[in-house]
Amino acid sequence: MRSMSERETWVLASHNAGKIKELTAILAPFGIALKSAAELDLPEPEETESSFEGNAALKAKAACEATGLVCLADDSGLAVDALDGAPGIYSARWAGEPRDFQRAMQRVQDELGDSADRTARFVCVIALARPDGSVAHYRGEVVGEIVWPPRGDGGFGYDPVFQPQGETRSFSQMTPEEKRALSHRGRALDAMIRAEFKA
């Protein structure tokens, strides 16, 4: 592990303040100082790929080329089995502009209708791009089910309608620490930390 005097600066290719705060706290013990795309005034590239891996890599590589620093980006979403994996990589787009996840959650419920299969999973893929051109991918998933009506007032996105397997609460009814212990992003981050820092 690096000492604090040997801090390395990485870029998080995100303009999401909550995500930046969370990752800064997680990576600081490993000697990583995190700068955000917003802080560096980097544009958000259009997500044109057809997979979580592709979109995460696209964002990480664009930031890496612009800064010459190690960059990480994630792409995540909700995949509902009975909807053939939708909304998937289009999870944010289902919320429209401006983002309205009440509308997105209602659309999931409407499209599920009376389907008995309400199995779903949250997926997160983190891409870590280095100036030498290499890109590593780390994937995390959590399986659960769609519940209705929405429950809880914590979290964000589709959290109020997602109940992880083995739980009786939605992600929105959990503390941030409880959610992170189970979440797709937490699992992808843990995989990255194990591989990159041998932690």
Active site residue 132: no
**CB-based contacts of 9, cutoff 8 Å, min separation 6:** 32, 33, 34, 35, 69
Residue spans of alpha helices (H) in 100-162? 101-112
Q: Write down the catalytic residue from 41, 74, 75, 84.
A: 75
Q: Please check whether residue 14 is in contact with residue 37, taking contact to mean a CB–CB distance below 8 angstroms.
A: yes
Q: Please check whether residue 73 is in contact with residue 63, taking contact to mean a CB–CB distance below 8 angstroms.
A: yes
**CB-based contacts of 135, cutoff 8 Å, min separation 6:** 57, 60, 61, 127, 128, 129
Catalytic residue numbers, as ranges: 75
